[in-house]
Structure 1
């Protein structure tokens, strides 16, 4: 009997490591996503519907820094006032208690603090923060904003306004946040002017009227802030400038022309190296003039990584020395979706001449929006039929494109949480 029990115990020990190794990697990644107007999660391989009713969800959900909360926003079916042209409620969901909590009846552009479970959001031009129980007014007249990496201040913008003698300048501000939110007494005493953007910017032979500054992102060491400077709303569809300013507000530089349609600039993980897809003109003007570029700071040395006759539609960093792009062969726009080019994913190692195509979507399908998951060394992307298609599937593969598979079917906005 003892021998049989010992043999069974040893067999279990032999089987356990293999099982653990097979199950552990993807357990490090949690997904929050929207499907058919409902909020869903995928955790430990299991999909779960979180909300009971479908709504028009606004923007992708967002995980809190500790992975316990999901922030989401939607248009309510009944407005709090008939005078409101639009209304967006902001909610959070606790994945441990399974409880939902409303943050505000009407807000926009919510963002989690990078260091604690506090949400900032705008209501009109007012910047607010919520500790998930109460919210507090922080500053007035705010355009776009982002948290400083230490969670103790905000970088904000105030857009230019049109006056009889012309446009004013857009201005950047630094707004300090009180550690004790109950001690906030003034909406101006913690505000300091950070940088005044010139009313007109130039890069090469391109000139741009400066109206708004948006999309603030900090470099890995926190010494640089990237953002987009945009002209009037209609013009910004075709041309914006990606810019950087030092975190002391003393150095400002225009890097290149860019459009939002191909995604925002992204910093590398550890090096002060920023990637962006340069080139003006919206996609309906043609799949062209969209070049992957990388700029190193503070040297401001830029290299282009896109070969002739190709254009990029999106990218993600793999590490500081390599990235993935969603690439098409250059072509004109066609109203016939079957004549439009379909992108595939390409791996680029900076400094190497060879670039490797790593996905091969079926005919009439394309691979878009690559996102690399560092914690599990996996690459994700959206696969769908056309750039205007709303039915999109989330795929996942090894970093070299092998072992690709459908991960989540029919997703809208989504967000990953990676456990360290």
Structure 2
């Protein structure tokens, strides 16, 4: 009887600890950079997968099946002393636990959405690699993205300055042959999609169209969103959020945006595009940054941010709601302690009530919310200031409850959510 009593007592003493312990999201893998090393966190276990510290010029990205990670590093010795910067692109296999260099100098790597084929740029050349060797696909390429079927790319050529003025940026579709070794022409599979007007307008705001970037497809693949930017310095203050139909028949300018806030994102299943509208860089003040959602093809836009607040980032939680990183509107201060610190708020489209999900301690803010549908978890970064590089990755239930530090001291990171 005494033995049974002691066993029950021990269980009761352990019960609070068992209640505090939170299970790891089973399907979610994390690749991240910490202190110059590449790490993974899988099934609750952190593992350092690189040997020597280095500078990561490209954040890690998971392949479509979660078996590979691509990353870009700054080499110890450059190919040429005349190169201002150089990025080696590498991949890591979780099955063989080996690293493989794909190219000595590349940028903007992107995995195919359907197979383990990697695209990247080298100068203005678009390349694809089967992870054994790479092949040139097209020339004169700016930013790009894969079509959802993995058989083509959308890209743009930027405008160029000539004696009679600027040319127009042009959108292209680049088809991809299945057998890369038989590619004999870099222009055969290129199709011009749309010539962007040299000047685009929204209301009383107009800008010179120089480049198009950040291509994203709607859930049904019938719409493509992208940013149109002016010259480099001007683009810090003003860019235009645009959409084009995949049949190239409809082009529309939606709103003004800046780069310092989160990129536009489509809802999971409906053709709803979310973005943070408003021009003017953050150093001009934490203001004029409103969360908006536009439904296509109706072009019905709604603003979700109440007066006297500004948004810095957002994530879709489902097709009807978003989570935003929000601050009180204020002027910019050179003293970080005088700048507003954001908290996360939940917004349900069509409802007036907006719920505050997080309450960071004084001097800390919650940034970069990302919702993980497969785990039904909300993640974000908590740090001391907008420009702070020392930051922790937090995780909570979708309603913000049971919040905890998930990974301490992270730099670039990426999630794989399983199938």
Shorter-chain TM-score: which interval? over 0.9
Q: Quote the Cα distance in structure 1 between the aligned partners of 2:410 and 2:23.
A: 24
- Asked whether the 8 Å contact 1:325–1:346 carries over to 2, the reply is yes
- Give the aligned partner of residue 45 of structure 2: 46
- Asked whether the 8 Å contact 2:325–2:368 carries over to 1, the reply is yes
SS in 1 for 2:142: coil
Q: Quote the Cα distance in structure 2 between the aligned partners of 1:232 and 1:375.
A: 40
Alignment of 1:6-405 (within 5 A): 26-405=25-404
- Superposed CA deviations along residues 61-112 of structure 1, whole A, max 9, x for unmatched, are 0000000000000110101122212110000000111010100000001100
Deviation at 1:277, TM superposition (A): 0.1
How many residues align? The count is: 400
SS in 1 for 2:25: helix
RMSD over aligned CA atoms reads 1.1
SS in 2 for 1:182: helix
- Asked whether the 8 Å contact 2:58–2:107 carries over to 1, the reply is no
- Asked whether the 8 Å contact 1:269–1:319 carries over to 2, the reply is yes
SS in 1 for 2:59: coil
Q: Quote the Cα distance in structure 2 between the aligned partners of 1:268 and 1:58.
A: 29
SS in 1 for 2:234: helix
Q: Quote the Cα distance in structure 1 between the aligned partners of 2:271 and 2:101.
A: 38
- Asked whether the 8 Å contact 2:226–2:242 carries over to 1, the reply is yes
- Give the aligned partner of residue 3 of structure 2: none
Deviation at 1:23, TM superposition (A): 8.5
SS in 1 for 2:119: strand
Deviation at 1:350, TM superposition (A): 0.3
- Asked whether the 8 Å contact 1:214–1:227 carries over to 2, the reply is yes
Q: Quote the Cα distance in structure 1 between the aligned partners of 2:79 and 2:24.
A: 45
Q: Quote the Cα distance in structure 1 between the aligned partners of 2:343 and 2:130.
A: 42
- Asked whether the 8 Å contact 2:24–2:43 carries over to 1, the reply is no
Q: TM-score, with normalisation over the residues of structure 2?
A: 0.94
- Superposed CA deviations along residues 37-63 of structure 1, whole A, max 9, x for unmatched, are 111000110111111111110132000
SS in 2 for 1:234: helix
Cα 1:24/1:411, change in 2 over 3 Å: closer
- Superposed CA deviations along residues 125-178 of structure 1, whole A, max 9, x for unmatched, are 000000000100000000111000000000010000000000000000001000
- Asked whether the 8 Å contact 1:25–1:376 carries over to 2, the reply is no
- Superposed CA deviations along residues 332-359 of structure 1, whole A, max 9, x for unmatched, are 0001111100000000000000000010
Cα 1:362/1:25, change in 2 over 3 Å: closer
Q: Quote the Cα distance in structure 1 between the aligned partners of 2:179 and 2:397.
A: 45
- Asked whether the 8 Å contact 2:312–2:326 carries over to 1, the reply is yes
